[in-house]
């Protein structure tokens, strides 16, 4: 069953206190993100199909898979509290495999509430 909802034509910028700031844009079923501040500033990835869903009152979840490394990322945005949580499995089944869980704050968004 596919109950994904689109976030197309929206964007969100959030900050991880220990990592930096990320801007995510949603357009035509694809996600683009760019690190705008911090250690990874300037890193940009484009064109990942994503899934998203409104999971509570002003709470959104979105997820994407980064091929060819098959890194999988999930982000939950709480627009009431302006907070976010993310979970990721990066580079699975390689020597660089990592499982991450981070929290941060939403700096800005154009998500419809």
What residue numbers bound the domain in which 20 lies?
Answer: 10-107
Mean of pLDDT values over 95-112: 94
4 located within any domain: no
Pairing of strands 44-56, 59-66: antiparallel
Q: Report residue 53 CA to chain centroid gap.
A: 13
2 located within any domain: no
57 located within any domain: yes
**pTM for the whole structure:** 0.92
**Count of domains forming the chain:** 1
Instruction: Please tell me whether residue 13 adopts helix, strand or coil conformation.
Output: strand
pLDDT tens-digit readout, 51-93: 999 999 999 999 999 998 899 999 999 999 999 999 999 999 9
Residue 47, token pair as written in the block: 């064109």
Q: Which domain CATH number covers 57?
A: 2.40.128.20
Q: How far apart are CA 75 and CA 88, in angstroms?
A: 9
């Amino acid at each position: 069953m596919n109950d994904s909802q689109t976030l197309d034509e929206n964007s969100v910028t959030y900050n991880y206190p220990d990592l930096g700031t990320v801007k995510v844009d949603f357009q035509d079923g694809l996600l683009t993100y760019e690190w705008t501040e911090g250690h990874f500033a300037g890193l940009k990835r484009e064109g990942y199909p994503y899934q998203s869903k409104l999971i509570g009152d002003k709470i959104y979840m979105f997820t994407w898979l980064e091929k060819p490394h098959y890194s999988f990322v999930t982000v939950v945005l709480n627009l009431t509290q302006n907070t976010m949580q993310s979970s990721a499995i990066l580079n699975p089944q390689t020597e660089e495999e990592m499982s991450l869980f981070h929290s941060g704050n939403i700096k800005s968004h154009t998500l419809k509430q």
